[in-house]
Amino acid sequence: MKLTRNMKLVFQGDSITDAGRAQPIAEGIFDPMGRGYVNLIDAFLNARYPELNLHVVNVGISGNTSRDLVGRWQRDVIDLKPDWLSLMIGINDVWRQFDMPYMPNTHVYIDEFENNLKMLVGQTRQMVSGITLMTPFVVEGMKDEPFRAMMDKYSAVCKKIAMRNDCVFVDIQAAFDEVLQHRHSARFAWDRIHTNQVGCGVIARAWLKAMDFEM
């Protein structure tokens, strides 16, 4: 397992990370992590490795793009002094280009996305033991569908930045592609994005596997 004793793990992202978490910072008791993949990861880590005394913090905010993260990175990552950072962002960078085509000011095109992600990872890599960089995704098996095709391009940027900065890369899109061979997308997310508990399980499983979690 890549994590060691007394580490603080900060999970950063958009609504998929947020998942109804406690505000302003989700940590501690009374189920603050929300209903998403972070809650599942926290449960599995601390059930399997209680001796590590891991401290999980969720600071995802629904609706955020990579542009939004740049604006709050100091407060919601740097100031928290994580030992390990997990980041999944990019879904809204793509989605706003489809659900708000008449509002180009909300669009984060791929060049800006890449610059934002480089900046965020670059500011953080030397202060943490590691970064887990997760791809954005859409629960859609047809790779030539326009939303999916654009999401794959943003995912490729994530992989490139992860490889160049010695991050743990987690291909969430590939994890969903695997299960979509057997079940319809509605089994995992009603709108192809906001995952139910089964979909959250797919994300959590991919993250744990990449981190060398042992059952």
Give the tens place of pLDDT for each residue, 131-161. Answer: 999 999 999 999 999 999 999 999 999 999 9
The answer to whether position 1 is within a domain reads no
Provide the b/e sequence for 131-147 (b: ≥16 CB within 10 Å): bbbbbbbbbbeeeeeeb
- Length of the chain counted residue by residue: 215
The answer to whether position 170 is within a domain reads yes
Q: Write down the catalytic residue from 15, 86, 155, 185.
A: 15
Q: Write down the catalytic residue from 31, 99, 191, 212.
A: 191
| Residue range(s) defining the domain that contains residue 149 | 8-210
Spatial CA neighbour of 138 closest among 192, 79, 81, 187: 192
pTM: predicted TM-score of the whole model, two decimal places: 0.96
CB 77 within 8 A of CB 59: yes
Specify whether 15 is catalytic: yes
Can you tell me the distance from the alpha carbon of 113 to that of 133, in angstroms, rounded to the nearest whole number? 14
The answer to whether position 152 is within a domain reads yes
CB 11 within 8 A of CB 80: no
Give the tens place of pLDDT for each residue, 58-99. Answer: 999 999 999 999 999 999 999 999 999 999 999 999 999 998
The answer to whether position 215 is within a domain reads no
The answer to whether position 39 is within a domain reads yes
Per the prediction, the chain carries an average pLDDT of: 96
Q: Write down the catalytic residue from 62, 83, 177, 194.
A: 194
The answer to whether position 3 is within a domain reads no
The arithmetic mean of pLDDT across residues 197-208, rounded, is 98
Peptide bond into 24 cis (omega under 30): yes
What is the total count of domains within the chain?
1
Specify whether 194 is catalytic: yes
Can you tell me the distance from the alpha carbon of 209 to that of 35, in angstroms, rounded to the nearest whole number? 20
CB 41 within 8 A of CB 72: no
Strand (E) or helix (H) holding 57: strand 55-58
The answer to whether position 38 is within a domain reads yes
What CATH number is associated with residue 32?
3.40.50.1110
Please tell me whether residue 108 adopts helix, strand or coil conformation. Answer: coil
The answer to whether position 2 is within a domain reads no
